[in-house]
Structure 1
Amino acid sequence: MEDSKPAALSPATSYTRVRDDGSAYLEGSKCRACGTRFLGERENCARCGARGFIETYSLGEHGHLYNYTIVYRSYPGIKVPFISAIVDLDDGTVVKGNLLDIEPDPSALAFGMPVRMVFRGAELANADGLGYLAHFFVPA
């Protein structure tokens, strides 16, 4: 998969955003009361229960591999094996995404290894053949 120009693709999630300069990012919610960060939009804080103290922010792009699984069976049209990862971003947000540009082999992976978020075209398209812009992680 090549890095894609966001303007040519539709965001794959409701929290994927594209800036005027064409760069993509994930949007999250941050509780001003306790500082907890969440992926996507929130109205209330799931940690402290605060209401009306939520603000949106752009997630960082650097983090560390918290956990992963190597997927060998998936839906038709999805190439396997691939690495499904959970990443602790340096800004405190936890994000799930596929880890690319590394062999899907446990000997190539290390818990805590540095990773970086990238945006690329997803392998699948919609019924009209239009592609999606999705977030992934690569070794940093």
Structure 2
Amino acid sequence: MNETLALPVVSWLKGLETNSPYLEGSQCCVCDVIFSGDRLHCSRCGARGKFKSIRLASEGSLYSYSIVYRSFPGVDVPYISAIVDLDMGGTIKGNLINVDPKPESIEFGMKLEVVFGDALGRKDKAGNSYISYFFQPATRS
């Protein structure tokens, strides 16, 4: 019997093998700006190849959002697509969950936390599932 794996949906989702997932980013060693994932070139200062890998913050605040009413077949709508400014730097896009997808339920600047879970039940040909990151309202203030 083959054991199935949990695969990350993005290369910068780390820690699945230890069941302690986190998001990894790159920090420019010249200007200190933080990006999600790996970078070779800094879009702020122009430095090339001067990055270090860092663990991104697990909390942030809502910068912008869109309530999506139309999507690909098999994707439940409506859902909230969010852009989140992470504490300690960096901005990432993902889905906001555990919030009613209505404008009156969402506030710009609301505190959010990164959570990890199954990516819509999708599997590859070998039966491996995919793990993604999501945002939800922070449980602590």
Q: How far apart in 2 are the matches of 1:88 and 1:120?
A: 20
How much does 1:126 deviate?
3.2
Q: Secondary structure at the match of 1:107?
A: helix
- Which residue is equivalent to 1:3? none
Q: How far apart in 2 are the matches of 1:133 and 1:126?
A: 10
- Which residue is equivalent to 1:64? 61
Q: TM-score, normalised by structure 1?
A: 0.90
CA deviations over 1:10-46 (Å, ceiling 9, x no partner): 1011111116531101111000110111111011211
Select which of 96, 105, 109 maps to 2:102. 105
Select which of 5, 9, 13 maps to 1:12. 9
Q: Structure 2 regions of 5+ residues with no counterpart? A: none
Q: TM-score, normalised by structure 2?
A: 0.89
How much does 1:111 deviate?
0.2
How much does 1:8 deviate?
4.4
Select which of 128, 131, 141 maps to 1:130. 128
Q: Structure 1 regions of 5+ residues with no counterpart? A: 1-6
Q: Secondary structure at the match of 1:136?
A: strand
Q: How far apart in 2 are the matches of 1:38 and 1:120?
A: 22
Runs of 4+ in 1 over 2 A off after TM superposition: 126-130
Q: How far apart in 2 are the matches of 1:29 and 1:41?
A: 6
- Which residue is equivalent to 2:21? 24
Deviates more, 1:87-96 or 1:125-134: 125-134
Identity percentage of aligned residues: 46
- Which residue is equivalent to 2:80? 83
- Which residue is equivalent to 1:95? 92
Q: How far apart in 1 are the matches of 2:108 and 2:129?
A: 32
Q: Secondary structure at the match of 1:47?
A: coil
Cα RMSD after superposing both structures: 1.5
Q: How far apart in 2 are the matches of 1:49 and 1:86?
A: 24
Mapped contact 1:28–1:39 kept (Cα < 8 A): yes
Q: How far apart in 2 are the matches of 1:135 and 1:111?
A: 20
How much does 1:127 deviate?
4.2
**How many equivalent pairs are there?**
134
How much does 1:112 deviate?
0.3
